[in-house]
Amino acid sequence: MTRLSSPSAARNRAAIFEVLERVLPETGLVLEVASGSGEHAAGFAPRRPALRWQPSDLDPACLASIAAWREEAGAPNLLAPVALDAAGDAWPVARADALVCINLLHIAPWEAALGLLRGAARVLPEGAPLFLYGPYLRRDRENAPSNLAFDRDLRLRDARWGVRFLEDAVGEAAAHGLHLEEVVEMPARNLSLVLRRRNAAGW
């Protein structure tokens, strides 16, 4: 099996875990959507052995890489990867106690973001966290030139891609009962968003 490696995963893993450590539940199942190379799963699962970590991806090469990283990590709580299409409604996981998605929204069609939010609303119980990490643009302030340039580059590579506006993501999440709890400024002008599943009354 071939292990893929992402330089950004190595750089951001510690900062992301600082947020996850206080957001994730003590026990239960964490579903990671779009696990990519699998480096985050292999790094996080051993540090929270009371949690079961379920990695997933749609790309066969990524699924193979996740399996290879899982084998090297040797963590009993790191589960075998499953094929999951974030944009689809037929997910292989029916329930999770937390959902984690790192660096997906900007390198996928907007339909994938909408599918991710629909899926989170289906699988998360009330009070459970949805954690999103990546770059975002904001309408309420001046955006960094680097994020604007990154957005242009992404759209040139694929017109369906692009750095999303924070307000759009949060608004769509709220429409699915996922309400923003916290925005955490991260290195390299990225953001961590902590959302929680609420009932119709908003609690």
What is the residue whose two structure tokens read 């908003």?
Answer: 202
* pLDDT (tens digit per residue) in 94-142: 999 999 999 999 999 999 999 999 999 999 999 999 999 999 999 988 9
Three-state DSSP string of 148-179: HHHHHHHHHHCCCCCCCEHHHHHHHHHHCCEE
pLDDT value at 201 more than 60: no
What's the pLDDT at 1?
59
- How would residue 2 be classed by pLDDT, with cut points 50, 70 and 90? confident
> Distance (Å, rounded) from C-alpha 159 to C-alpha 139?
21
DSSP state of 123: H
Alpha carbon 66 to its chain's center:
15
pLDDT value at 198 more than 90: no
- How would residue 199 be classed by pLDDT, with cut points 50, 70 and 90? low
Strand (E) or helix (H) holding 11: helix 7-23
Please state, for a pLDDT cut of 90, what percent of the chain lies above it: 92
Query: Could you tell me the pTM of the whole model?
Result: 0.95
Please state, for a pLDDT cut of 70, what percent of the chain lies above it: 97
| Averaged pLDDT for residues 50-62 | 97
What's the pLDDT at 154?
96
What is the residue whose two structure tokens read 């923003």?
Answer: 180
* pLDDT (tens digit per residue) in 32-52: 999 999 999 999 999 999 999
pLDDT value at 78 more than 60: yes
Q: What are phi and psi of 47, to 5 degrees?
A: -85, -10
3 state SS of 22: helix
Question: For the chain, what is the total number of helices (H) and then of strands (E)?
Answer: 6, 7
> Distance (Å, rounded) from C-alpha 199 to C-alpha 171?
16
Indicate the domain borders of the chain: 7-197
Pick 7-197's CATH classification: 3.40.50.720, 3.50.50.60, 3.40.1360.10, 3.40.50.150. 3.40.50.150
What's the pLDDT at 7?
83
The token pair that represents 23 in the structure block = 């957001």
Alpha carbon 91 to its chain's center:
15
